[in-house]
Structure 1
Amino acid sequence: MNDNNPNDPFDELMRRSLHEEADRIEPSDALPEIRARAHAQRSAARRPWLLTAGLAAAGTAAAIGAFTMLNGPDNVADDGDAVAGSTTTATGAPETRVPSVASVTPEPSQAPTQPPPTSPSAKTAGPTESGVPEPAVKSTVVPVYWLGQQVGAQKESAARLYRTWAKVSGRPAEQAVRIMTTKQPSDPDYYSVWRGAALNTVTRSNGIVTVDFKQLPKTNLDADLAKVATQQLVYTVQGALGDAGGTRVQVTEQGRAAGKLFGQVDTSQPMSRAQATEVQAFIWVTAPDDNTVVTTPVKVTGIASVFEAQVNWRIVSVKTRAVVAQGAANTSEAYKFAPFAFSVTKLPPGTYTLEVFEISAGDGTITSTDSKSIVVR
């Protein structure tokens, strides 16, 4: 603008043009749009059912962090002797004790929430092609099965199933499988061949539980070991669901048929639970846990299916390798999985290995051993 000539025709023309342009602008309230964008961002962050490639890895990490182990460090799944509540073991033997379970607050990603409004094209948390996800819980105890070398077996690769317990929050079966595939058991005698597997979802529909993996283990095993390793998954899933044998388990990879699991097991059809005598350890110690500090008398409990209902035991000094105590105990019933219990008195302070085993009626060799490291104070 020219201040020296307020009546300049050019200045007057510019003023009229600016006024006319301003009159065409209609202001609007942008607050609703801002709120809608913010809500959409928060809603997307809360949608665990949106299985995009970017969110899948983050969802797995959040789910693995949701569980805590009983009586042990964060990176192991500890052994236990009973599941919370009135129930039976995976083989039908009655439990004798119930562990106390502290309340655990679930991670935000696992807390049950009402799904936010979505567009018609967005996926929801309802039924999927594979079925319905199990309900999330605040805190519960689930069984997790592991492999253990079968002492006295003719084949070096012979293995049997051993059960431990873990406290979880979120979806019980899903968390149990995550432990089985990513964690190490506290007992060094137990192991898993599911390393390298990445779980996607566990859903149920029409009497079948579908366990879908982003990636299955690439390990090839011999036929016998592959069967037991597959039953490790079946027993863990059914145990976490509280269904000892009725629900068949279908294994898929990224929603499709998985082919031969471990190079041996056909996954084209749902798998049923094998008989306990075919895959389960004939003797396992349920208490004390491995690396437990105890005082005398040391009370030992377990489950066994043995000849003439008798198990043998011994206490070996870690320092001297000498047997400091030994004896025998009976199960409640012969030739069936049944509980046993005994006490060991007068053990001086020290570190010991507790071994419970069966002596072969054929050649007198030691078979079916389960052992625990204990520290006596």
Structure 2
Amino acid sequence: MNNHGEDPFDELMRRSLAEEADRIEPTDSLHEIQARVRTQRAPVSRRPWVITAGAAVLGTAAAIGAFAVLNDNTKTADQPSIAGGPDTTNSASADPSTAPTLPASSKPAPTKAATLAPTVAPSDKPRARQEPEVKQKAVPIYWLGKVVGNTNGPDYRLYRTWQSINGRPAEEALRLMTMSKVAGDPDYTSPWDGAAVNSVRYTDDLITVDFKQLPTATLEPDVADMAAQQLVYTVQGVLRQSSTPVQITEDGRSPAKLFGVVDTTEPLNRAQALNVQAMVWIETPANNQTVKQSFKVTGTAAAYEAQVDWQATNLKTKEIVKNYAKTAEGQKFSPYVFVPKLGSGEWLIEVYLTSPEDGRITDTDSKTIYVK
């Protein structure tokens, strides 16, 4: 029986669907469903890489950003930049606009390195200092003198005198050392004539002597080495730092060769006294000094069996007075003193060492004095 008012097209569609449903045979399809799931999990799809790559970019950007913060805040002043570090990172791969924003409650606490300001490690080297200025201070100055009577060893050795200065002691002593006439003795000289001292600065580990101008003369190697020791002994003696090496510079830079021979790129150390100091010398009275008849002669010597011989000659009458003195110790540099009994007049005082083998004079020093 026909239903009036029903659309013929709708009826036709229902029949067709019913017939199609009758042809379907139900089967056990569980294994097929599992196979399709496994297939979807495998990395064969060409579309999901877009999402995966996006997440990777975000993670890389966050990691690079964190590395940059930590690296910049932990770098100290003396550390070089790390090659290939944040400064050389390609900005395209670290776009901050793509970085995820975490909720406030889930943001990690800043690390200590990220919150502290950069710290510069303090220098372990003490700062060099200058001496304070003084008035009327006696300082030792060394000079080169020709060795008399001894052919074993260098032709020149170091002789010491004392000078009164005003100002910074080491600087003033070196300024006087650069002028041979200050020695007051024609037997003494200074290869440093014409040099101009700028400053002397020192620590417990290094003494730096800076010159405005160094000597330009070229010396024989043994004389040049002795001249270098002249400066070392003088500045160390004034500062009382005999074991502290001395760096010589000119306007803050080490000259290539001092006197054309001596390497000054490294600090100079004091040579052994027996190799460079005169074996005997007179320290007082000074050459051409006027003294009273009760004057003392003082000096230093490294004397065999602690004996220093001396002779005084009256330059007018040719009278000769001889005797000897004892040093405080033998076979090492040690002080001596004696009181000659001389009449008024001009005298030549000579001190000397005598060879224990044949009695010949081996080393000597002399001063001309005026006795009242």
TM-score scaled by length of structure 1: 0.61
* Structure 2 Cα separation of the partners of residues 232 and 207 of structure 1: 20
* Structure 1 Cα separation of the partners of residues 152 and 355 of structure 2: 16
Which has the higher Rg, Structure 1 or Structure 2?
A: 2
User: Offset of 1:178 from its aligned partner?
Assistant: 0.9
* Structure 1 Cα separation of the partners of residues 244 and 271 of structure 2: 12
Unpaired runs of 5+ in structure 1? 1-128
Matched, 1:189 2:187: yes
CA contact (8 A) 2:134 2:169 kept: no
CA contact (8 A) 1:317 1:324 kept: yes
Deviations 1:252-311 (A, max 9, x none): 122212112112211111011111111111111122222122233442222110112111
Question: Residue 135 of structure 1 corresponds to which residue in structure 2?
Answer: 131
Q: Which amino acid aligns with 2:188?
A: Y
User: Would the alpha carbon gap of residues 156 and 271 (structure 1) be closer, same or farther in structure 2, given more than 3 Å must change?
Assistant: closer
Q: Compare the two structures and name the one with the higher helix fraction.
A: 2
Question: Residue 85 of structure 1 corresponds to which residue in structure 2?
Answer: none
Question: Residue 223 of structure 1 corresponds to which residue in structure 2?
Answer: 221
* Structure 2 Cα separation of the partners of residues 279 and 202 of structure 1: 23
User: Offset of 1:357 from its aligned partner?
Assistant: 0.3
CA contact (8 A) 1:152 1:368 kept: yes
Matched, 1:351 2:351: no
Matched, 1:328 2:324: yes
SS in 1 for 2:226: helix
How many residue pairs get aligned? The number is 247
CA contact (8 A) 1:358 1:366 kept: yes
Runs of 4+ off more than 4 Å = none
Question: Residue 18 of structure 2 corresponds to which residue in structure 1?
Answer: none
CA contact (8 A) 1:131 1:210 kept: no
Q: Percent identity?
A: 47
* Structure 1 Cα separation of the partners of residues 328 and 316 of structure 2: 34
Deviations 1:148-192 (A, max 9, x none): 111113289711111122222222211111111135211222110
Question: Residue 340 of structure 1 corresponds to which residue in structure 2?
Answer: 336
Unpaired runs of 5+ in structure 2? 1-124
* Structure 2 Cα separation of the partners of residues 376 and 167 of structure 1: 23
Describe how 1:151-162 pairs up with structure 2 within 5 A: 151-154=148-151, 158-162=155-159
* Structure 2 Cα separation of the partners of residues 298 and 199 of structure 1: 36
CA contact (8 A) 1:162 1:280 kept: yes
Question: Residue 23 of structure 1 corresponds to which residue in structure 2?
Answer: none
* Greater RCO structure (CA 8 Å; 6+ sep): 1
Q: Which amino acid aligns with 2:321?
A: A
Equivalent residue in structure 1 for 2:174, among 171, 174, 177? 177
User: Offset of 1:363 from its aligned partner?
Assistant: 3.7
TM-score scaled by length of structure 2: 0.62
User: Offset of 1:334 from its aligned partner?
Assistant: 1.1
Equivalent residue in structure 2 for 1:210, among 208, 211, 224? 208
Question: Residue 269 of structure 1 corresponds to which residue in structure 2?
Answer: 266
Question: Residue 278 of structure 1 corresponds to which residue in structure 2?
Answer: 275
SS in 1 for 2:321: strand
Return 281-290 or 132-141, whichever deviates more.
132-141
Once superposed, what is the RMSD of the aligned Cα atoms? Answer: 2.4
User: Offset of 1:369 from its aligned partner?
Assistant: 0.8
Equivalent residue in structure 1 for 2:313, among 313, 316, 324? 316
Question: Residue 231 of structure 2 corresponds to which residue in structure 1?
Answer: 233
* Structure 2 Cα separation of the partners of residues 344 and 171 of structure 1: 37
Deviations 1:62-104 (A, max 9, x none): xxxxxxxxxxxxxxxxxxxxxxxxxxxxxxxxxxxxxxxxxxx
* Structure 2 Cα separation of the partners of residues 318 and 156 of structure 1: 32
